[in-house]
Structures are given as structure tokens and as C-alpha cells.
Amino acid sequence: MSPSAPDGRTYARFARVYDAVMDDPRPKIARLLALVERYHPSAASLLELGCGTGTMLDGLASVGRLTGIDRSPEMLASAASKIPAARLIEADITTFDLGERFDVVICVFDTLNHVTSFAGWEALFERVHAHLTNRGLFIFDVNTVAKLRGLAAFEPWFLEAPGATVVQNVDEPVDGLSTWNVWIVEHCEGGEYAGHHEPIGELAVSLEQIEAALTVEFILLETHDELGGPPDEHSERVHYAWRRR
């Protein structure tokens, strides 16, 4: 999983401004709903790994019973206020055991990249298989090494959020592993400021390695890049839909 921030946790303060600085979730929600309708229209339960502030779950309510897992209590608190009908669980997405199965499991917004060892990815894949119904869907996306290299070439960028300025940059990946640095500068009373740094690990691996790890237990249904075309080594983000064997 991602490395700890200086206070011992990641997302402890980032959770407060997360929704304000993230990409528009609506295209991702529409993509997920289309995949469920195409490959499992009778799906009645969905589990999200790394549900964060609950934005994706909130947009997927039509699928049925919703469950979200995240290891950040701050993120889960935000999700609980947004989607009170969902069941939310604080757990590690590589080791969880809920003792039940779901029609759909999703892991999106490059959450998988924040598991910073490939052994962790394989453990997550095993947990997904154990929690899917027969022929259930596993849908996820990943940032690629090309994406991390591209981000590392940029100067730090600034985003304004309610009560805070967020500064981000990405370190050059080494063996596919990089760090996404997030600085939150909170605007306090009296014109004072408080700054916090949260380093968030990102691991990218080859598409061949991902697919080799999944093909024994899953059937590949669909894969494409951010523009809808076939992915290659130049793609920045790759989307997958798999079916449990």
C-alpha cells in the first residue's frame, strides 16, 4: 500500500479537499454503468476497493447493494455522509475477508497503483476472486509507467479548494515506483497558514504482467485506453473488465 505520511497515515488531511481537486467522476461512472449493463445486467451487488469519499459509489446506486472498503477513516467519514445507505468498511484492500460474494468488484481512479508492490497486486486479485460470484465482473483501471513519467516532467501544480491550496507533483518512477507528493496549505484564522505533506506511493507495471497474473482465474472481456482505443506502451491509463472463471 502507499507509504505513510509524516503523521503515520495517508489521506488524513487530503480527505478534506479530495473531492475539490479530483477529476470529474461522471465519465468514469458512465463507463462503469455501461460495462455492468453490457456484461452483467442482472448484477445486484457491488464492492468498491479503495472507495475514498464515496463519489463513485454514490453514482452507482442503481446497481443495487453497495459496499465500500478503504483504509482511511477520514475518507470513510466523508463517504458515510454522502451515501448513508452504503456499507463502509475500514480495511486493507489486499487482505480483507468479508465472508460474502458480490456480482461486481471495482477498483478505479488508479487505486490499484497505490498498492506499491506487485505481490500486493496479486494478493488483491486473489481477494477479488474470492469475493466475486461465479462469472462476476472485476473492473479496474491503472496508470502506466508512461503516465507517471509524463507527470514527473511537470513542475508542481496548484489547485484551490475550500479553505486550502493544494500543491502536487510526482517523482520520476524508479523500477515503476514513484511518489505522488501532496502538500495541503490550509488557510487559518488571522491570515495564518498550516502546511501538511502527504506522500502517496504509485506503482506502475507492464500490461503484460497484469494480464499474466489474471488470466488463470479471470477471462478478459474488454480493455482500452482513456480514448477508447487499444492500449499500448504509450497509453497513460488503461481500463479493464474481467469475468471470474
Q: Specify the pLDDT at position 21.
A: 85
The CATH number of 14-144+206-244 is 3.40.50.150
d(CA 192, CA 54): 31
Task: Name the CATH code of domain 147-202 (choices 1.20.1740.10, 3.30.450.90, 2.20.25.110, 2.60.40.10).
Answer: 2.20.25.110
Segment-wise mean pLDDT, segments of 10 residues, the chain, 245 residues = 40 84 92 97 98 96 97 94 96 98 97 97 98 97 96 95 93 96 90 89 96 98 95 94 97
How do residues 50-94 score in pLDDT, each as one tens digit? 999 999 999 999 999 999 999 999 999 999 999 999 999 999 999
Domain positions in the chain are: 14-144+206-244, 147-202
pLDDT of amino acid 14: 84
pLDDT at residue 20, as a whole number: 86
Q: What is residue 9's predicted lDDT score, i.e. its pLDDT?
A: 52
Task: Report the predicted TM-score, pTM, of the whole model to 2 decimal places.
Answer: 0.92
Q: Which three cell numbers stand for residue 13?
A: 488531511
